[in-house]
Amino acid sequence: MPIYKPDLGLLKKAVSSVQRQCYPNWELCLVDDGSNDEHLIRMFHKLEGDARIKVLLSKMNEGISAAINKAATLANGSYFGVLDQDDELHSSALLEYAQVITRNPEVDIIYCDEDKIDERGRFCSPWYKSDWNPDMALSFNYVMHFVLYRSSLFRALEGTRTRFDGSQDYDLLLRAVERTGYIHHIPKILYHWRISAGSIAGGPEAKPHVFVKGLAALNDALHRREIQGSAEHAPDAWKGVYRVRRKIKRPHTTSILVLLTGNPARPLPLFRSIAALIPSAEREIICMDPSTPEADKTSMVHNILFTYVVSSEKAPNNVSAYYNAMARKARGDFLLFLDDTMEFLSSETHFALLEQGQRPEVGAVGGKVFYPNGFLEQTGIILGPFGLFAYANRATPDDVGYVGIKRMITNYSAVMGLGMMTRRSLFFELGGFDEQYDSYCWDVDYCLRLRERRFLITSTPYATFRHHIAARPAHFAISSQDTSLFKKRWQHVIDNDPYFNKNLSRLHEDFWPG
pLDDT bucket at 306, cuts 50 / 70 / 90? very low
Give the separation between CA 112 and CA 128, rounded to whole angstroms.
Answer: 8
**Which region among 192-206, 209-223, 252-266 has the lowest average model confidence (pLDDT)?**
192-206
Mean pLDDT, range 452-460, rounded to an integer? 98
Residue 202 has pLDDT above 70, yes or no: no
Max CA pair span of the chain:
92
Query: Residue 438: its pLDDT value, please?
Result: 83
Residue range 2-245, CATH number = 3.90.550.10
Q: What residues contact residue 379 under an 8 Å CB cut-off, 6+ apart?
A: 368, 392, 393, 401, 405, 406, 412, 459, 461
Query: Residue 254: its pLDDT value, please?
Result: 95
Do 2-245 and 254-495 fold alike per CATH?
Answer: yes
Give the separation between CA 27 and CA 117, rounded to whole angstroms.
Answer: 24
Question: What is the residue-averaged pLDDT of the chain?
Answer: 91
Long-range Cβ pairs for the range 242-247 (8 Å, 24+): 242/138, 242/139, 242/140, 242/214, 242/215, 242/218, 243/139, 243/409, 243/462, 244/138, 244/139, 244/218, 244/409, 245/355, 246/355, 246/356, 246/358, 246/359, 247/355
Residue 288 or residue 414, greater confidence = 414
Give the separation between CA 443 and CA 427, rounded to whole angstroms.
Answer: 12
Is 45 in contact with 70 (CB distance < 8 Å)? no
The structural domains of the chain, with segments of one domain joined by +, span: 2-245, 254-495
Mean pLDDT, range 456-477, rounded to an integer? 86
Mean pLDDT, range 188-201, rounded to an integer? 80
- Alpha-carbon separation of residue 475 from 281, 372, 486, 493 (angstroms): 41, 19, 16, 19
Fold of the domain built from segment(s) 254-495: Spore Coat Polysaccharide Biosynthesis Protein SpsA; Chain A (3.90.550)
Residue 315 has pLDDT above 90, yes or no: no
Q: What residues contact residue 251 under an 8 Å CB cut-off, 6+ apart?
A: none
Q: Tell me: the pLDDT tens digits for 140-158?
A: 999 999 999 999 999 999 9
Q: pTM for the whole thing?
A: 0.93
Q: Tell me: the pLDDT tens digits for 481-507?
A: 888 999 999 999 999 999 999 999 999
Q: Give the count of beta carbons closer than 10 Å to the beta carbon of residue 131.
A: 17
Give the separation between CA 66 and CA 161, rounded to whole angstroms.
Answer: 8
Q: DSSP label at 473?
A: P
Give the separation between CA 502 and CA 366, rounded to whole angstroms.
Answer: 23
